[in-house]
């Protein structure tokens, strides 16, 4: 009589996979339990518990307020971020490809890059007033520099032997840039875009707390001022985190595309 056994490698590999999938849920459950326990032990009536936050989120969703604020924040991020992509990536490619241009513009980029986007809020309000233009400008500015730096680094990281091999086959100029440099730099370009998107989502919340009357940042301030509704404050914070995680997940999926990971193009 023979018995069938699963291959050792297959059975062993399944366990870490299942454990890795359950681990995030377990961590979230532990944090929620710790949150609930801290509320019960402290006896506070000001800071909300997990269930209070759930009820506040449901109330906002039923009133349509939550969807309106989420849509406003996403719209501002989309406009500012896509505008930054349209300018930062081509500029980074040009600076990485042309030494003279890099020598001329890099000092300005490196001088402006360390300035916190929050420090630009007074100037943004002065230049654009209180409205959508101010947070969009701040989002553009905050995501612009990570993408420029990442793109320049990606172009500089392309192996010289690939460039020389392409030139030996008569591939020069724009063809060299298109078929060798861009595929070789794509992984770091996408990484810079991922970092820029994370910073953009971070900045829009801060900008909406000061220079706008809609969005998730405004929802936090408005809930704080409207009778200390900390359940809505925490609800908005949780939603910001969930959306930020979803945006980062999208960029991680883009990073896994074969032409990005392996740096080739047909």
* Predicted pLDDT at 149: 93
Q: How far is 239 from 7, CA to CA, in rounded Å?
A: 43
What burial class does residue 39 get, using C-beta atoms within 10 Å of its C-beta: 0-12 exposed, 13-18 middle, 19+ buried?
middle
* Predicted pLDDT at 5: 47
Q: What homologous superfamily does CATH list for 48-261? A: MetI-like (1.10.3720.10)
User: What are the φ and ψ backbone dihedral angles of 142, each rounded to 5 degrees?
Assistant: -70, -35
Q: How far is 26 from 146, CA to CA, in rounded Å?
A: 34
DSSP per-residue string spanning 68-117: HHHHHHHHHHHHHHHHHHHHHHHHHHHHHH-HHHHHHHHHHHHHHTTS-G
* Predicted pLDDT at 262: 57
Each residue's pLDDT, cut to its tens digit, for the chain (266 residues) gives 445 444 444 444 454 566 677 777 888 888 888 888 888 787 777 778 888 888 888 888 888 888 899 999 999 999 999 999 999 999 999 998 888 999 999 999 999 999 988 889 889 888 888 788 889 999 999 999 999 999 999 888 877 776 777 776 666 677 777 777 787 888 888 999 999 999 999 888 888 887 678 888 888 888 877 767 888 888 888 899 999 999 999 988 887 876 666 555 55
* Predicted pLDDT at 148: 95
| CB-based contacts of 73, cutoff 8 Å, min separation 6 | 204, 205, 208, 215, 216, 217, 243
| CB-based contacts of 52, cutoff 8 Å, min separation 6 | 231
Neighbours of 190 (CB within 10 A): 23
* Predicted pLDDT at 14: 52
What burial class does residue 135 get, using C-beta atoms within 10 Å of its C-beta: 0-12 exposed, 13-18 middle, 19+ buried?
buried
| CB-based contacts of 109, cutoff 8 Å, min separation 6 | 95, 145, 148, 149
* Predicted pLDDT at 158: 79
pTM of the predicted model, to two decimals?
A: 0.80
What burial class does residue 260 get, using C-beta atoms within 10 Å of its C-beta: 0-12 exposed, 13-18 middle, 19+ buried?
middle
Q: How far is 23 from 21, CA to CA, in rounded Å?
A: 6
């Amino acid at each position: 009589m023979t018995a069938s056994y699963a291959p050792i490698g297959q059975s062993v590999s399944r366990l870490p996979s299942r454990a890795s999938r359950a681990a995030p849920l377990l961590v979230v459950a532990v944090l929620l339990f710790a949150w609930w326990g801290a509320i019960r032990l402290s006896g506070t009536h000001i800071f909300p518990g997990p269930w209070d936050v759930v009820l506040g989120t449901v109330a906002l969703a039923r009133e349509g307020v939550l969807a309106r604020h989420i849509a406003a924040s996403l719209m501002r991020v989309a406009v500012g971020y896509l505008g930054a992509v349209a300018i930062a990536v081509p500029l980074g490619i040009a600076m990485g490809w042309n030494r003279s241009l890099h020598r001329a513009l890099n000092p300005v980029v490196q001088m402006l890059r360390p300035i916190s986007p929050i420090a630009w809020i007074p100037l943004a309000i002065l230049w654009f007033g209180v409205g959508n233009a101010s947070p969009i400008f701040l989002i553009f500015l905050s995501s612009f520099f990570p993408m420029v730096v990442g793109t320049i680094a990606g172009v500089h990281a392309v192996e010289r032997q690939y460039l020389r091999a392409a030139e030996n086959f008569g591939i020069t100029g724009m063809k060299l840039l298109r078929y060798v440099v861009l595929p070789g730099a794509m992984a770091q370009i996408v990484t810079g875009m991922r970092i820029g998107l994370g910073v953009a989502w971070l900045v829009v919340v801060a900008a909406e707390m000061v220079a706008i009357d809609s969005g998730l940042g405004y929802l936090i301030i408005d809930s704080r001022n409207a009778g200390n509704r900390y359940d809505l404050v925490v609800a908005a914070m949780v939603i910001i985190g969930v959306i930020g995680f979803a945006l980062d997940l999208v960029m991680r999926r883009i990073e896994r595309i074969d032409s990005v990971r392996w740096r080739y193009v047909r």
